[in-house]
Amino acid sequence: MTQYIVRRVLIMFPVAFLVTVFLFVLIRQTPGDPVLVRLGEEATPENRAALRHELGLDRPVAVQYVKWLGRVLRGDFGRSIRNNQPVLDALAERLPKTLELGLVAFAYSVGIAIPLGTLGALFRRGPIGLAASAFTFAGVSMPNFFLGTLLILFLSVKLGWLPPGQYVPFSEDPLDNLRRLIMPAITLGTAGAAVNMRLIRSSLLDVIVQDYIRTARAKGLPERLVFFRHALRNALIPVVTIVGIQVGALWEGAFVTETIFAWPGVGRLTINSISGRDYPVVQAVVLIAAFSFMLSSLLVDLAYAWLDPRISYVKRRG
């Protein structure tokens, strides 16, 4: 098992390497020039050349890449073109805020999906099932920016229950921090919750008619045990896969949600650095995103083994 994990972790590096090559070239192909962004249109050609040289952008892309990679391997991600901040500092400032938002949104999306999906499967023909389906439909089809704006207009402006966005650090005022987290987390988590719910519902419906469920019932197991130990556990396997992929969706959702709710996380850093063509920051953000995808995919595979004893990553002898 340990060997398997080590192998998986090691293989992340070549994949990340490919991602960085891809990105390094891609971002330099997009129209727009960091030198122009920083100097404005009125700069003379002499000014532009001077800044281009200072930033090392006058060298061939391959040379820039090798230099960058060499520094990154030594743990130096360089400084922001935009405001000279060390890239690692910029990330360290934002990452906890995005993680806080992402984790709460994730917990909400899974936490609400399992009971709702179960109810939807158990009472699929009654009003409860219908309500659950309605939630799914609305959740999947509503874009983040729309849901977010709707929540602000309704819960903040109309009812005055929650503050409309802005971040307050947990260390300054824990309660206010959490209050301000509610709407962004709902916005970020709802689409995922809806997808999960639908999946749990259909997966449960599949499992419930399987032979082993009939066997379990025939053994005389109480319905509660049949459901939790046999049905739900097996129904969750496909869900885990989707949930793993949703970590990616959370990153994407963070771009929009953080902008709507003025949440100072990695999403906004990314948007600012892309529009400012702040190459060093973009490269670091994408590298981190890539690692988080791969890590979540590893966790998904490990969770399989736990959920389904038939799946094992340990080589059997004989």
Partner 1 sequence: MDSRRVWTMLLPLALLLTMVACGGGERQGARATAGPGGAGAAATATAGAVQTGEKPVRGGTLFIGLAADISNLDPLRSNLFVDRLVQYNMYDSLVSINEKLEIQPALAESWDTSDPKAVVFRLRRGVKFHDGTEFNAEAVRWNIQRILDDKTSPRNSELASVAGVEVVDPYTVKLNLKEPFAPLFSLLVDRAGMIVSPAAVQRAGADYTRNPVGGGTGPFRFVEWKKDERIVLERNPDYWRKDKDGNPLPYLDRVVFRPIPNEETRLANLRTGEIDVSDGAPAKDVEAIKKNPDLIYRAIPAFARDGIWLNAAIEPFNNKALRQAVAYAINREEILKTIFFDIGVVATGPVAPPHLGFDPSFKGIQYDPAKAKEKLAEGGRPNGFSFKLGITAGSPQTQLYGELLKDQLAKVGIQVELVQQEFNKLVSDTQNGNFQASLIGWSGRIDPDGDMFAHFTCTGNFNYGKYCNPEADKALQEGRSTFDVEKRKAAYQRANRIIADDVPYIFIRNTVATQVSTAKVRNYLLMPDQIMRFHEVWKRSS
Stretch that binds partner 1, among 61-69, 197-205, 207-215, 263-271 (CB under 8 A): 263-271
204-242 burial, b for 16+ CB within 10 Å, e for fewer?
beebbeeeebeebeeeeeeeeebbeebbbebbbeebbbb
Stretch that binds partner 1, among 58-66, 131-139, 190-198, 250-258 (CB under 8 A): 250-258
Alpha helices in 123-143 (DSSP H): 127-141
For the chain, helix, strand, coil in percent to 5 are 75, 0, 25
* Contact pattern for partner 1 over residues 52 through 71, marking x by CB under 8 A: --x-----------------
Tell me which of 2, 74, 75, 84 binds partner 1, using CB under 8 A.
84
The least CB distance from residue 126 to partner 1, in Å, is 36
Is there a contact between 270 and 282 (Cβ–Cβ < 8 Å)? yes
- Which parts of 157-186 interact with partner 1 (CB under 8 A)? 157, 160, 163-167
The least CB distance from residue 54 to partner 1, in Å, is 5
The pair of structure tokens assigned to 111 is 């936490």
The least CB distance from residue 200 to partner 1, in Å, is 21
The least CB distance from residue 193 to partner 1, in Å, is 19
CA diameter of the chain: 86
Closest Cα partner for 269 from 102, 92, 148?
A: 92
* Contact pattern for partner 1 over residues 2 through 41, marking x by CB under 8 A: -----xx--x---x---x--xx--xx--xxx----xxxxx
222 DSSP 8-state letter = -
**List of residues 6+ apart from 229 with CB closer than 8 A:** 216, 221
- Which parts of 264-293 interact with partner 1 (CB under 8 A)? 264-265, 268-272, 274-277, 282, 286, 289-290, 293
Q: Name the residue nearer to partner 1 (CB basis): 120 or 164.
A: 164
Q: What is the C-alpha separation between 28 and 20, in angstroms, rounded?
A: 12
* Contact pattern for partner 1 over residues 291 through 310, marking x by CB under 8 A: --xx--x-------------
What angle is formed at CA 57 by the lines to CA 44 and CA 251, rounded to 5 degrees? 115
Tell me which of 245, 288, 305, 307 binds partner 1, using CB under 8 A.
245
The least CB distance from residue 179 to partner 1, in Å, is 12
